[in-house]
Amino acid sequence: MSNKTKLKIGEFSKMMQVTVKTLRHYEQRGLLLPDEVDEWTGYRYYSMKQMQRLNTIRGLQRQGFTLEEIKELLEDGAQKPSTDQLTKKIEATERQLQLLMERRNLLLKWLDSHKQINTMEKFSIKSLPEIIVASHREIIPDYSTLGMLCVNKIGPEMQRLGCKCPPPGYCFTIEHNREYSTGNIDIEYCEQVEEMGKDSGIIQFKRLPAVEKALCMKHIGPYEQFHESYTEAFSYIEEQGYKIAGHPRICYIDGVWNQDNPEQWLSIIQIPIE
């Protein structure tokens, strides 16, 4: 072994503040090979040259270059990306930044929507604007099948049709049964979309008129307990001298798709009144 300073992989890892696992990964990718490997012990030794190369790799990673891109660059003998490579990386970063800003704005709208719902009084009177919806009507055996119907049938069809839903999202169901039924629920699922589309065998597009007044009530718990909230809502309507003026809507905020505990499911019952 020569007299130049050499470090075992553990020492090198400690000095350079990088895990041994990462060093082995870089070696497997051909990015950072040990300066020397003892043929008898298999010990890997690193030198000043590997320190400089590792710093170059980490610097390029911070600039957004992938390991594959870094490998190609180093194999070409370059220590720094060319002007053309930097320009392309800047353009890619700007595209990513735009996508992140759009995601951030969407998340902020969702957060604001949740805050409004969480601070909402048990009963509130609101107007519902005119909207365009993608609608699917089907007879289902019980409410528990609604989630999978959305995931496996309605959602994929809306995606196939290119539906765009304005944030934070507004979906609801309307029951068309004339009386209570333990099964065979005639239900219509509606989700707000930005524009009318072309009907398919699964999805029909329609424009729903504005509702001047709607009693809105939070329901927390399983769907089988809707009757308890309806009892409270209808009592309130009667006490306040209102009349029901249309089909109630059930708007779903939290459910099986994001909350395992049914006791934490949040829905909003919206009843048109006059």
Sign of the CA dihedral running 152, 109, 230, 220: positive
pLDDT per residue of the chain (274 residues) written in tens, 0 to 9: 455 678 888 888 888 888 889 999 988 888 888 888 888 888 888 888 888 888 888 888 888 888 888 888 888 776 677 788 888 888 888 888 888 887 777 777 666 655 555 545 677 888 888 999 999 998 888 777 877 788 888 889 888 999 888 877 788 888 887 766 566 788 888 989 999 989 999 999 999 899 898 888 888 888 778 888 888 888 888 888 888 888 888 888 777 777 788 888 888 888 898 8
d(CA 31, CA 174) in angstroms, rounded, equals 60
Q: Confirm whether pTM is higher than 0.85.
A: no
pLDDT number for residue 204: 93
Note whether 7-79 and 123-272 share their fold: no
Q: pLDDT value at position 143?
A: 74
Domain ranges of the chain: 7-79, 82-119, 123-272
Which pLDDT value is given to residue 199?
92
The whole-number pLDDT of residue 111 equals 65
Q: Which two tokens stand for residue 272?
A: 């048109």
- Give the pLDDT of residue 207: 93
First to last CA, the chain: 92
Strand partners, 267: 219, 252
Give the CATH H-level superfamily of domain 123-272: Regulatory factor, effector binding domain (3.20.80.10)
Closest alpha carbon to 136 in 183, 173, 104 = 173
Strand 44-46, strand 36-37: pairing = antiparallel
Domain 7-79 adopts which CATH fold? Answer: Multidrug-efflux Transporter Regulator; Chain: A; Domain 2 (1.10.1660)
